[in-house]
Amino acid sequence: MTEAQALIYLAGALVIGLGAVGAAIGVGILGGKFLEGGARQPELIPMLRTQFFVVMGLVDAVPMIGVGIGMYILFATGA
């Protein structure tokens, strides 16, 4: 394995791993704010729940895109 191939594998792993870590932190913060908002105004929980799941889906899309880019880096560059 050459040094260039090793760097390509490292780049792909970083794209996939850091995207997942960032999304996990984002969903954790989002869930905490959801619970905080529900505790402050319980009558808004149905509306907050809908918005929570929509935004959580958007946040979870980031690691999926990162996996796609990481796979492209790993396999399309001929590593």
The CA distance from 53 to 3, in Å, is 43
Q: What DSSP state is assigned to residue 41?
A: -
* Residue with token string 């929980």: 45
Active site residue 60: yes
Judge whether 8 and 77 are in contact, CB under 8 Å.
Answer: yes
Could you tell me the two tokens for 14?
A: 């970083």
Catalytic residue among 51, 60, 62, 74: 60
Q: Which residues participate in catalysis according to the annotation?
A: 60
